[in-house]
Homo-oligomer: A and B are copies of this chain.
Amino acid sequence: MSDTKKEASDFACKLPLTNSSVVKLGHGSGGKMTANLIESLFLPALGNPILNAMEDAAVLSLSDGQIAVTTDSYVVSPIFFPGGDIASLSVHGTVNDLAMRGAFPLGLTAAFILEEGLPLDQLSRLMESMKEACTRCGVQLIAADTKVVGRGAADKIFITTTGLGRVRSMPAPSVSRAVAGDHIILSGDIGRHGIAIMAQRAGLELETSIESDSAPVHFVVDAMLSSTSHVHCLRDVTRGGLAGVLNEIAQASSVGVAINESSVMVCSEVQAVCELLGLDPLFVACEGRFVAIVSDDGLRELEQLFSSNPDAWSTFKCIGRIVDKHPGRVVMQSLVGGNRIVDKLSGEQLPRIC
């Protein structure tokens, strides 16, 4: 086997991974240049016995049970941003989507679309970052694909990750399981991810730089689901922001959502940039925050969990209740008094934030 490998590599055109090297169309050919890119750049970072086998499909042994499946394309621009990059984001986002159904990741797939001309050192940095994110999340890549398109036919790199997870909490939390009387818990302050990206795009020079909140939440969610069976709904706050998530819950569960503006945390830097750019933090994406809808019993059990390690859970806040009134709508009691309907935005506030 090793002899063959050696022979094969004698024929291969080696990738000189210098700073001036870039992705070329030939790297997407399925020929030697593709093999070389995979062997010299992707596998050293992301390889494992399943991926290294380079089969048409990975084969996993699973035992009886419920499996969660999710897919997302990541097209964020810029590809490197304060607090993260497109590669770690693609891992966190997919692991988090699994967690929202009470599932722990079994494996990820990743499909890369590369633009001709992407510097190989940037690609290499991204693969290192993806490796670190996978390690942090305790998950491995089980299948991958690489395509290359010409200059101007993509923007540097797009990554599509699909996650496969084992559902550990049954019935799985669902966007349609919120009922009147439930409490709405938000896991942290909102808006850091979207504002970190916008601030970098706009070239804003701020005294303190805002970093993306991009992070995996599945360990925290697993602790919550282990401590109570009364979590009805989990949803991570991404595109569309907190307003989008709460509207989706209100509509899918046919319930009203009532929140208090004073309970929704927004850090002062995010608030300041939002004011500067005319944005409402309720609509700004996060990538490491989620909403949990829990019953009275659930809240009591979570409070016990939270009290065991108050520092770890200090960012969690009850921000409101699920109500019978105004089904399908989100209503916020504002800081200045009075209620306002928080609708979904129509179009795009911040394009390509994930």
Residues of B within 8 A of A57 (CB): 68-70, 97-98, 100-101, 103, 163, 165
Size of interface on A: residues with Cβ below 8 Å to B = 105
Known contacts A75-B113, A251-B5; decide if A56 and B235 are in contact (CB<8 Å).
yes
C-beta contact mask, A26-57 vs B, less than 8 Å → 1, else 0?
A: 10111111110000000000000000011111
Given contacts A109-B162, A328-B8, contact A31 B346 (CB under 8 A): yes
Q: Pick the contact of A24 from B34, B35, B53, B347 — CB < 8 Å?
A: B347
Whether, in the assembled complex, A186 has its beta carbon less than 8 Å from a beta carbon of chain B, the answer is no
CA distance A32 to B354 in the complex (A): 17
Query: Is A111 positioned at the interface, with any CB of B under 8 Å from its CB?
Result: yes
Asked if A153 CB lies within 8 Å of chain B CBs, one says yes
A55 to B351, alpha carbons, bound, how many Å?
A: 22
Residue among A8, A77, A236 having the largest count of chain B Cβ atoms under 10 Å: A8
Assembled-state Cα–Cα distance A176/B54 (Å): 10
Partner among B1, B13, B75, B254 whose Cβ is within 8 Å of the Cβ of A254: B1
Q: Is the pair A152, B149 in contact by a Cβ cutoff of 8 Å?
A: no
Chain B residues near A124 (CB-CB < 8 A): none
Smallest beta-carbon distance A220→chain B, Å: 16
A311 in contact (CB, < 8 A) = no
Q: Are A73 and B112 within 8 A (Cβ)?
A: yes
Identical chains bound together, number: 2
In Å, the complex CA distance between A153 and B64 comes to: 43
Given contacts A54-B175, A62-B62, whether A30 and B103 have CB atoms under 8 Å apart is no
How many angstroms between the C-alpha atoms of A55 and B58 in the bound complex?
25
A50 nearest CB neighbor, chain B only: B69
> A352 in the interface, Cβ–Cβ < 8 Å?
yes
Q: Which residues of B contact A70 (CB under 8 A)?
A: 56-58, 109, 143
Contact with B along A71-98 (1 / 0, CB 8 A): 1111101000000000000000000111
A246 CB → nearest B CB, Å: 13
> Bound complex: CA of A170 vs CA of B191, how far in Å?
49
- Complex Cα gap A329–B149 (Å): 30
Q: Is A129 an interface residue (CB 8 A)?
A: no
Which chain A residues (121-168) contact chain B, with CB distance < 8 Å?
Answer: 142-145, 147-150, 152-155, 158, 160, 162-165, 167
Q: In the complex, what residue of chain B is closest to A166 when comparing beta carbons? A: B62
Chain B CB within 8 A of A239 CB = yes
Are B4 and A328 in contact, with the CB atoms below 8 A? Answer: yes
24 contacts across the A-B interface (CB closer than 8 A): A3-B328, A8-B328, A24-B347, A25-B348, A29-B345, A30-B238, A30-B244, A31-B244, A32-B347, A33-B348, A34-B239, A56-B234, A57-B163, A59-B101, A59-B167, A62-B64, A62-B65, A69-B109, A71-B143, A113-B158, A149-B351, A153-B155, A153-B352, A164-B164
User: Considering the complex of A and B, which 6 residue pairs feature the smallest CB-CB distances, nearest first?
Assistant: A26-B347, A30-B239, A30-B240, A57-B70, A160-B160, A4-B328
